[in-house]
Chains A and B, each alone.
Chain A
Amino acid sequence: MKHLRAAGAAVLLGLLIWLGASRIGPAPAIGTFLDPAHGVWALARNAELPHDASDIIPTLGKSVEVRYDRRGVPHIFATSDSDAYRALGYVVARDRLFQLWLQTMAASGRLTEIAGARALPLDREMRRLGLPWSAERKMAVIDTTPETLRLARAYADGINAYIDHMPKDALPLEFRLLGIKSVPKWDPVNSLLLFNRMGWTLAYIAPELARAVAASRVGAAAAASLIPENSPIQEPIQPNGRRSPRFDFTHLAPPGASDGEVAQTLIDAIHDFLPASATALGDGEGEPRAFASNNWAVAPIRSASGSALLAGDPHLELTLPSIWYEVQLVAPPAKLDVYGVTIPGLPAVIIGFNRDIAWTFTNTGADVLDFYTEKVDDDAHPTKYLLDKNWRPLEQRIERYRGPNGDILAVDTLYFTHRGPMRRENGQWMSMRWTVLEPSNETEGFLLAARATTVEDFQKAMGVYFRSPAQNMLVADRHGTIAIRSTGRFPIRPGSSSGFTIRDGTTSESDWRGFLPVDFAPQAKDPEQGYLASANQQPIDPRVASYWLGGEYDPWRAMRINQLLRADSSMTVDKMRRFQTDPGSAIADLFVPYFLKAAEFLGSNPRSDIDATKLAQAAKLLGEWDRRYTKESTRAVLFDLAFTELVNRTWDELEAPSGGAAHGRRVMTPSTAVLAELLADSTSEWWDDRTTPRHETRDDILAASLVAALDTARHRYGDPAKKGWTWSRVRHANIWHPLRLASLSALDLPIQGGRSTLNPSVGSGDFGASWRMVVEATPNDLKAWGTYPGGQSGNPASSRYTDHLADWVSGDLEPLVTPRWIPQLSAKETVSRLTLRARE
């Protein structure tokens, strides 16, 4: 018995030591993980900022003082810009080390080194699109710009100093979960990878694919109607002199016969080139991708205080920790005093303000990506491609994808023409030109913008250096000037100048002719109307523009902002703040009357297949709605479901043919603006439901959608008189940690907003306002308020992990503290001090 006990204990000991020291599948080694001295528990000791701390950054010129305010924002006080950016790298790494590392791994196509072969498709996408290749080329450009290189290196020095000196106990939780014990050094090229990744997020738009896909189902003419060159609703960024939106509605070409083989060849070729993540083929609810944003500014003549006001809220994927990190950099000798948000990994304040100007961006969404069919010397192993009857050498690059243990999972040979990456898909070699991949130096633009003292300075800096992803850059200064410009590289194409065609790559005649000079870009400065607004709508009225920018445009939020701004000539900071979560919906304002009229019409002209009683009930309930997506609304849910039904029932012609894997799924979804256009044509062929013998009209489909929505709402949420229909119970924001671990995420957050509201909430709720800021540019200084969904710290145990979340959910903003130098930050306001020195 005694021996048996000892043997059992020996087995248990062996097992525990094995479990303690080894990872089993995705589970961490539990000994290392649970160790209270150095394991995960130690993170509790590092969760909060120490009252006083110091460290060494060997390359510092002079000591740097960092003060963290009560919101966890570091205010960096340095005597040179290099030192300020060194400290920026340090504090970002201190709070967001895992995020820095993971973003870089994702952008460089190295996720397989963490997740193994599962991540291979994602990694291949990054590398085949040429993001790492392009980052290296951009680095060569930066190498010729001593200023940028100096500050990019300074930033890297700061990150690497933190990595070098980081206590073992402070290794972030996620590294421990993944079994990673040491963090690689930061290279300045990583920042360029992150810029490219942002380009992939915001400028990866291929309307030619949407058109080809649509043509494959309904023919080229109909496809051109469904994906028009210009938005059917015009409320442009560059004011067009109107005081209301213009509805350029035309008759949509009816669905025709499939373009068959031609279209399918294109689809196959492009679709393989651009994975589904790139293609805005709709989400099934007819909602545009939520990579949207709002910004607007009011001139002194329309502001209650007589100062220019500016508001901005970029909408991106919501993550914990947030994509943004708030910071102030002060280096008086370098004339640097800037506050705002940076993206961890980028040595710049991306959106923010200094003592003179404030700026913010929305995505322009232009079409800056084209495809070319290519001829090569050898289909199997090409070395040259044909251009103007001459064979030109292809650039080749071998990409190796490694697993977590360093083993090679796959090897790709990538080819590049003078245009960009080239790939063979379905027997056809195709190359791609994309402005995101072109040599550029956006960092320099941001570095200069941080020091700009006027709107003109800012625009000059960005005009010279900012290439992609093109942004609608809104800026206001303390002199009361407001201005906006769609800034970036917009290709001038040959021939039709539209980006809807795939061009012949064997001739340089197909190449872009250059780029739209920045002076011609959509823009406005101190407009007569006294305000400027952008929300991803078409930047310039096609009746004004002599060129085509293409892309994806969404008019609804712009319509709402303009409606709000037009109605109020005495704007205040607080009104601007409330606008950012305004529950009004221009899309509801347009569509609800059509639903109600259809119900009324069908009430008088009943149809056997639509339940008249239910229709009357649904119409009554919808009629009770004030068309505002407030948290308390109990009717918004009915409209939302009815709208989804309407999209599904209207675009049945776009469903994939039977027999295929995609049978029953829509191949693409036209924009909601096109659906609005269709509403004006009550007998269009598009309204007909092909599955029924009768010929449906608009009102039939609207009524049927409303009845179906009522059924669904009752089924899902119960009695409409009870609380189940309350919007806050139905729609939530979900802010996921990048590892998709619920315990590190903030889920099911009830927010005000819905379909195409200024605080949009669609689908799974994981997109939304990633930073909200309002700035008042008084003649003496700028005052600002802001918040973002999350907190400064990347440590989930920290009180600073989600401390901004409550304000974000409720739509409140906090005043941003902007001391000019250390003494201006009161002791009460200071929660932590960090001194960075060059040596002991």
Chain B
Amino acid sequence: MTRHRPRRSRRTLPLAAIVCGAIVVIGAWLASWWIVPVAALIAAVLWWDRPRIAIEVMWGAIGGWVVLLLIDSLHGRTWALARAAGGAVFLPWGLLFPVTLLFAAGLAWSTAVVARAACVMIAERVQ
């Protein structure tokens, strides 16, 4: 039985995700949540030729927000906040985390898909 070697592309650094996440972490302080589609757009345009760019960008955005949430958690009151704020918007308190990350993920993924589609379209026209 032949053992399949993993493809090279799987070993490459998820650069798009890292860049997207970094932009999100740094830019959030200036541009708030709007940085997520901006970061996704930048990463998707830079690496539009990667077939899984939207997923990479999505994970990058999630990672960026997770870092930000970890910063928020440094004082140890995040769970109390999730309980209070989650309940205030009628979410079971544990759901506020996934909803937060899902929002970032949706924003980043959809931005990246649209951006990549635009890039592909432009590239096809240029060719």
Contact = CB atoms under 8 A, between A and B. Distances in A.
A12 B105 CA distance: 11
B15 interface: no
Given A44-B72, A45-B74, A743 B93 contact: yes
B33 A31 contact: yes
Interface string B31-75: 011100100000000000000001000000000010011011111
Nearest to B25: A37
A9 B80 contact: no
Contact of B117 (A3, A40, A44): A3
B87 interface: yes
A797 B99 contact: no
Interface string A28-48: 101111111111111111011
Interface stretch (A13-21, A475-483, A677-685, A756-764): A13-21
Q: Interface majority SS on B: helix, strand, loop or mixed?
A: helix
A799 B84 CA distance: 12
Nearest to A798: B77
Contacts of B76: 48
Contacts, number: 131
A41 B69 contact: yes
Interface string B69-101: 101111111101101111111000100000110
Nearest to B54: A9
Contacts of A662: none
Nearest to B92: A743
A366 to B, nearest CB: 41
A300 B126 CA distance: 98
Interface in A89-117: none
A743 B87 contact: yes
Contacts of A31: 32-34, 103
Contacts of A3: 117
B103 A47 contact: no
B114 interface: yes
Contacts of A799: 77, 80
Interface magnitude class on chain B: 35 or more
Contacts of A20: 33, 103, 107
B80 A796 contact: yes
B28 A35 contact: yes
Contact of B114 (A6, A43, A45, A797): A6
Interface centre among A30, A32, A45 (most CB of B within 10 A): A45
Contact of B32 (A2, A17, A39, A742): A39
A411 interface: no
A622 B101 CA distance: 58
A743 B86 contact: yes
A744 B73 CA distance: 20
B110 A10 contact: yes
A35 B114 contact: no
Contact of B84 (A9, A36, A173): A173
A721 interface: no
Contacts of A744: 84, 87-88
A6 B48 CA distance: 13
A10 B107 CA distance: 10
Interface string A729-753: 0000000000101111000000000
A637 to B, nearest CB: 30
A27 B85 CA distance: 12
The 8 closest A-B pairs by CB, nearest first: A743-B87, A9-B113, A6-B117, A796-B84, A36-B68, A797-B81, A37-B28, A13-B110
Interface of B: 28-29, 32-34, 37, 54, 65, 68-69, 71-78, 80-81, 83-89, 93, 99-100, 103, 106-107, 109-111, 113-114, 117, 120
Interface of A: 2-3, 5-6, 9-10, 12-13, 16-17, 20, 27-28, 30-45, 47-48, 173, 177, 739, 741-744, 796-799, 801
26 contacts: A2-B117, A6-B117, A9-B111, A12-B106, A13-B37, A16-B107, A20-B107, A28-B89, A31-B32, A32-B33, A34-B33, A34-B100, A34-B103, A36-B65, A36-B69, A36-B71, A38-B32, A40-B81, A44-B75, A45-B74, A47-B77, A741-B88, A742-B87, A743-B84, A743-B87, A799-B77
